[in-house]
Homo-oligomer: A and B are copies of this chain.
């Protein structure tokens, strides 16, 4: 068994309003940052999971997203295996 570090990136779906992203975009523009086209704010969940294989760790993270971490109606997620220890 190894311990895997996995990043789950959860973002508001395309077409879903993201008021927090809009607020950040406006704040950046008012700080005089140029070229800000769009900002979306999501969540990053960094998991450390003990699992027999990297595939098992990713599959478990996917099940966690479906059951708890992400809202499938309003959010997209993707899973990225970062490292093994």
CB neighbors of B among A12-61 (8 A)? 21, 24, 27-28, 31, 33-51, 60
B44 touches A41 (CB 8 A): yes
| Most chain B CB neighbours (cut-off 10 Å) among A36, A51, A63 | A36
Number of A residues whose C-beta is below 8 Å from B? 36
Write out the residue numbers on chain B whose beta carbons fall within 8 Å of the beta carbon of A36: 47-50
Interface residues, chain A, CB within 8 Å of chain B?
1, 3, 7, 9-11, 21, 24, 27-28, 31, 33-51, 60, 63-64, 67-69
Determine whether the beta carbon of A42 is less than 8 Å from that of B43: yes
Cα separation A20 to B10 with both chains bound (whole Å): 15
> How many whole Å from A81's CB to the nearest CB in chain B?
14
| Shortest Cβ distance from residue A58 to the other chain B in the assembled complex, whole angstroms | 13
